[in-house]
Amino acid sequence: MVQALVAKEQAAFVQTLKSLVEIESGSSDREGLERIAALVAERLRAAGGQVELIEPSEAEIYKMFDTPERIGPMVKATFKGKGSRKILLIAHMDTVYPRGMLAQQPFRVEGSKAYGLGIADDKQGVAMLLHVVGLLKQLGVHQDWGQLTVLINSDEEISSPGSRATLTREGRAHDVVLSFEGGGAPDGPDQLRLATSGIAAANLLVKGRASHAGASPERGVNALYELSHQLLNARDLSDRAVGRQVHWTLARAGIVRNMIPPAAEASADIRVERVADFDGIEAALRERIKNKLLPESEVSLNFERRRPPLQATDAARRLAAHAESLAKAQGTPLLVRDVPTGGGTDAAFAALNTQAPVIEGMGLRGFGAHTTNAEYVQLDSFVSKMSLTLRLIADIASGRARW
């Protein structure tokens, strides 16, 4: 019954995908984010939700180097029931793409693939949620929970500076969290994730002193030399055995060729599997920058904790095991991952202050996130993943799923 109902919904789901993709909603595009938030709010309201648009609180914004002046709104919809369990469903409507790219790469369907900028990350997740609530109502299970909450934010791609506090607060207030980022590689099988990587950024700033590179180089302090020394001195902080990665990925120095460079800077991408590793990496970097090549140079470090890791818990493993049994019963394979693969998501913020199970990857299989011409979702994963989602939510609401 469930899979037959979902199969009938697929055409409407594709139209929802189209309507979402055709609104450009880059993380810094306030106008586009307002447009897509209005569409999402309208759809959730029509489904019977109590809907509110939430502006990020200035007091709660975690400012980072790429935080826009105006962060987009969050959409929160609440569906009340007669049961006791509280379920939180999350996704994000912002993308990494600047305005103007849609004209060259419009939404299209080719065979079993639906293409579009942001379609895999994470407009498929938003579309899933818009159809989940309606299908649950058709199945007659919409009164079994105490509360079903849908929360969709606008700043995930920039590490959620305005929504992280809300995600943590809502995670604590609910009994289970399901996050609708993509659910595996396009060639299958469907996946769920119980762990994601924590992400940080380290920025090294070096101040030197300019001078003529030909006539008086000895009067300068070469910031590029100092930066090179610092990078070589901090190239061994990765440890794959514990999931710790520190990679220097950006650097720049100097003004013109014939001037001793007065300034230089570099940035590192940092991934961890344990929250405590952030402190260890920062402490190591701060100690190492004391060792300078050029005594007159000034070296400083800016360390940003952009996203915590989601760590697998026993509760999440038990709920995922229940999902595996449901997938087996409906005849579809399911892979559960409890080790991070390098990416970070908002599920980690929702898990920060709760013992509730948190499961990531409830969305569709896809490919090409953060690329300019190859992002798509596998439409032939819709029936299996949506059917599993509906069954899992129904079992959580009724108490059949335990953790």
Please list the active-site residues.
94, 156
Rounded CA-CA distance 113/137 in Å is 28
Tell how strand 298-307 and strand 334-337 pair up.
unpaired
Tokens 């990416």 -> residue: 343
Taking phi first (over 0 means left), then psi (-120 to 50 degrees means alpha), and beta for anything else, what does residue 254 get?
Answer: left
> What tokens does 75 get?
């959409």
> What tokens does 153 get?
């934010």
Rounded CA-CA distance 193/278 in Å is 22
Q: Output the CA–CA distances (angstroms, integers) from residue 124 to 128, 369, 379, in the order listed.
A: 6, 12, 10
Amino acid, single-letter form, for residue 3: Q
Q: Reduce the DSSP state of residue 216 to 3 states and report it.
A: coil
Burial of 134 (0-12, 13-18, 19+ CB in 10 A): middle
Is residue 385 within 8 Å of residue 134, measured between CB atoms? no
Rounded CA-CA distance 163/318 in Å is 28
Q: What is the DSSP string of 360-391?
A: B--S--EE-TT-SS--EEEGGGHHHHHHHHHH
Q: Reduce the DSSP state of residue 39 to 3 states and report it.
A: helix
Is residue 325 within 8 Å of residue 401, measured between CB atoms? no
Give me the phi and psi of 334, to 5 degrees please.
-145, 130
Tell how strand 176-179 and strand 358-359 pair up.
parallel
